Amino acid sequence: MEKSKKSKALENSIKTRQENKEKKKAEFLEEFSKKANNVSATCKAIGIERPTFYNWLKNDVDFRLKVENAEEGDIDMAESALKKQILGGNITAIIFYLKTKGKSRGYVERQEITGKDGVDIVIKEV
């Protein structure tokens, strides 16, 4: 009987720790948006260390997907702001957009290295 009580106590302890961890994860996700998806600020706000957060990311697919979804939302927001700038005629925003999204149409910056008078450089193995 003694062993059974110890076993139940251990099971309850494990269950309680798991429930607390899940509550902390939920708290993290709620605070994450309030802290502009800043990992350090969110960890500090809920009282966990950054390695704890990264362990959760590594070991909990559902948690990782929720974090990634929040981060994708930030990218969507930034793209919307960029497009507003483009529509407003902001030349820097237009150039940036073309350099990143218009590569297939030739909007790229690259350096071509050639030999004298534009001749190809030949590399010989020694």
In angstroms, the CA 99 to CA 104 distance is 10
User: Is residue 65 predicted with pLDDT exceeding 60?
Assistant: yes
Q: Which residue has the tokens 């600020």?
A: 41
Domain boundaries, the chain: 1-59, 74-108
pLDDT tens per residue, range 89-118: 999 999 999 998 988 888 888 777 888 888
Residue 24: its pLDDT value, please? 96
pTM of the predicted model, to two decimals? 0.66
Q: Which residue has the tokens 């990634």?
A: 68
List own/partner pairs for 33-41 with CB under 8 A and 24 or more apart: 33/70, 36/74, 37/70, 37/71, 37/74
In angstroms, the CA 11 to CA 4 distance is 10
